[in-house]
Amino acid sequence: MIKYVLFFMCVFSVVTAAQDRCSKCRQEITGQYIAVEGLFFHPEHFLCHVCKLQIEGNYSKQDGFFVHPECSAKAQGMLCTICGKVLEGAYIKAEGKSYHKSCFENSVAQKCAVCLKPITGDYITDIYSNIYHAEHKNESPQCDNCSRLISENLSLGGYDYKDGRHICGKCYNSALFDEGSIQHLVRKVVSELRGLGFETAMQHVTFIAVDRIGLQKAAGSKYTPSMRGICNASTKTTTIKAENRRSTKREEKSFRVYVLNGVPAINIEATIAHELMHVWMYQNTDPSYSHPLLEGLCNYTAYLYLRTVNSFESSILIKGFTEDPDPVYGDGFRVIRSKFEGKPVNSFLRYAISGN
């Protein structure tokens, strides 16, 4: 809690004239003397009650005695924690410490991540623990990837993509666009998930990197602005005829997985892991589960992958899963996580197959 407090000091004057007797030595005063609150002192006898040194200039009163303002302030904890000088007039008290207003604002107060000025009034804290004045929220867009408010100080500026996305400088600096880099990430995620126990047949799985327009086209009516990827499955039926035997039909599933490009590798990896679980579900069970259950299973798979990465960026994505207010992706993830956190992956996969 921050408190604003007042502290006062008094001023005396030195005059020249014969005047009564010194209140300290009781000797008659001639020449210069000090007159203060109806009392008279030789200048050298106007002493601080605390340090016993001569008071020159301002003074304060403590328990009825004359004292240096510094001595009184020190005794009462009235020195600024930053500069060590006396607190005169209004000052700030926070967490048991006292400050000049300027010292507090310059050295103690939290600074706005956007304008770098001290935080006063309403402010916003983002998922990265950056704080900024609430009024900045309407001054610029948020990054469509990481949700940082786009500004020079907070996000290193930003970029407007041709597909309509606003991407902050921090995300853009490590964004991937080329097909080769993203195919490398696919192989990386497949290998890591295989190590966890996910066996996905990749012969008929094709990953395609697209921008937002391409993703919207691939998703059709399923598209939402928060979408990062989509798995489109198709089934090809082949009729096999054999001599003196009845013909048989064979079904072959294939998958085209579209992944949003133009973002950092870790975001693409999380999307790949999520969509690979969609592929796994098609290959191993009837994927006609409720939407929250299905997306919860896929988000939990991405969560398991992100835990193997063990980086600041992966921890932020995990935090995003955990705090996502979406009733499908957020609630679905939390339900699955509550069931399988700390349990073997094979129990999660058995549940994914049976639904119970």
Q: What are phi and psi of 305, to 5 degrees?
A: -65, -45
Q: How confident is the model at residue 16 (pLDDT cuts 50, 70, 90)?
A: low
Percent of the chain topping pLDDT 90:
64
- Mean pLDDT taken over the chain: 88
The Cα–Cα gap between 299 and 331 comes to: 10
Q: How confident is the model at residue 238 (pLDDT cuts 50, 70, 90)?
A: low
Q: Quick: pLDDT tens for 291-347.
A: 999 999 999 999 999 999 989 999 999 999 999 999 999 999 999 999 999 999 999
The Cα–Cα gap between 293 and 102 comes to: 55
Q: Which one has a higher pLDDT value, 241 or 147? A: 147
Q: Quick: pLDDT tens for 63-84.
A: 888 988 878 777 666 788 888 8
The Cα–Cα gap between 25 and 351 comes to: 96
Residue range 2-107 in CATH 2.30.33.40: no
89 pLDDT more than 80: no
The continuous run of DSSP H or E covering 174 comes out as none
Q: Where are the domains of the chain?
A: 2-107, 123-172, 177-354
